[in-house]
Chain A
């Protein structure tokens, strides 16, 4: 008896859901007659880092301005490659009109991305690459260039010579290597000397600790070049906590320029400058619209950087 009731209830539920769906569909078609709303699937590799939270936010805001044309579905792979692979396949099954992916790793995601591409779903790859050419468009920033600009700026700032501490990001990751390489190119030929460097793994508490060691060893430090803003902030705090007032004489320079992080630090005078590592969120939506409307887009879009200093921070930085 109980079982029959259960089965009946289940059947009723299925019917209800079915009806609901149909209603929704008719409602949608009447709302925008003759015009289809495109669905974009966005697979983010993780939302643990503020920079990636910002990327999603940028995409959301850009999409809002075209709310009548597109709808974006966000998925977070929680920093797990296999979860992201599954998400891409879910988007394919859902039949999204376009896929945006910020992949965790190149090689393991190349295949699922290619699968989507071959099924006729255009794919925009954001920030990190996949292998081969089975995607529609890659949008990303140039870390070497950003590092180089930071180096050139520091040469100018210190008048060509000085003692600098470099607080590196995780050096087994490409952004860390490229931000270092670019910086070395930027200061080449000047008398700027790196007196202390440490791998801070992008983390502020580690940067703070390493900076304390640098402060203990060197009575004279002119500037700190940190591979990201939290590390630069940590270095500033270390100098402040030392209690000798050196946080006022040392110039702190960071990278990333998130609105509530680096840019705010510059506004408050904590950092002398920060260089934007653009998320490409806005550009991704713009490019997506072009693709969906059948326009041609370049295979590679390299984003530029902007510098934020006390002078230009209120105007939203200055492109380099």
Chain B
């Protein structure tokens, strides 16, 4: 009986997440300016929807990794910096040293993985607070980004010794141009595939169950035979690897490697996860919630941008809508 009631509430919770999403979506249609040529609300067009997904693919990847970490009851502040480091490293390898794309991506992902392993080890083995360990990584990774780039943006012509002086590799353009047929950019596809794969992983595998168990009650998880330390290291490693992938996307989108790329993105990623309905206390939520959270953030931003709202009121409105979106979700915690 108790179990059935619980399941019913869980379903209701999903429903709440969708309500918040629908509210924002309707707001989008109501406040969308109409296209000058067709007279239809711009917000509703397929083109705009694709643009929204595309613009938020980097945040989405960060939020994907962040969801895993938050499910264990942790937090990762270093993802924005790791994004920056990866964007710079990827540009440096391809533009600066003329590497081929696959080895460059390989090195970037491994670098991200290494950062995550350091985070995870500090937290699991040395019992450091996730907040502090990843704060240290945030600082170090940002410094590393500036160090490898020599303090400037990595772009063709940036240094006399760069291998590519005239433009970026064709891969950069390919990543950001719509694929024929589906009209979606590869960078959007990567985000969608990643979040769907992780959703399946969290939902259907033992790894997913371990995440919830650790986030719910770490001691109980340990006593029931879960290798808590190993799971945590793996989780932070995955999180950083998604950040590294977002860095590659960022470099392709900006057409250069910016040492400042991803600054404060970690906050948006955390916000997206929380707006979706994953609890910061850990153990409650899921990957599909995060997809909804990312979309809510993206929609709010797009509505305000389409209407050319001034920065100051925009920030206030953004804050208010985020609060409302979370309030709609909130009751889940008490039920």
Contact = CB atoms under 8 A, between A and B. Distances in A.
A199 B254 contact: no
Contacts of A47: 151
**Residue of A196, A241, A264 with most chain B CB atoms under a 10 A cut-off:** A241
Interface residues of B, number: 38
Given A47-B151, A53-B152, A264 B254 contact: no
Contacts of B152: 50, 53, 260
A198 B305 contact: yes
Given A260-B155, A261-B153, A219 B36 contact: yes
Contact of A260 (B157, B255, B258): B157
Interface in B32-87: 33, 35-37, 42, 45, 47-48, 51, 54-55
Interface string B294-327: 0000000110011010110000000000000000
Nearest to A237: B255
B306 to A, nearest CB: 5
Contacts of B254: 204-205, 208, 234, 237
Given A47-B151, A201-B311, A237-B253, A219 B176 contact: no
Contacts of A148: none
A212 to B, nearest CB: 5
Contact of A209 (B33, B55, B250, B310): B55
A210 B51 CA distance: 11
B168 to A, nearest CB: 11
A64 interface: no
Interface string B151-176: 11101111000000011000000001
Given A213-B302, A216-B42, A264 B157 contact: yes
A216 B47 contact: yes
A66 interface: no
A272 B258 CA distance: 23
A256 to B, nearest CB: 13
Nearest to A243: B178
A70 interface: no
Contact of B51 (A204, A212, A237): A212
A217 interface: yes
A233 interface: yes
A199 B310 contact: yes
A204 B55 contact: no
Contacts of A196: 308
B48 A216 contact: yes
B246 to A, nearest CB: 12
A10 interface: no
Nearest to A241: B176
A208 B177 CA distance: 14
Contact of B308 (A198, A204, A261): A198
Nearest to B36: A219
Nearest to B33: A217
A210 B305 CA distance: 6
B278 interface: no
8 contacts: A50-B152, A198-B311, A201-B311, A205-B261, A216-B51, A241-B185, A264-B156, A268-B166
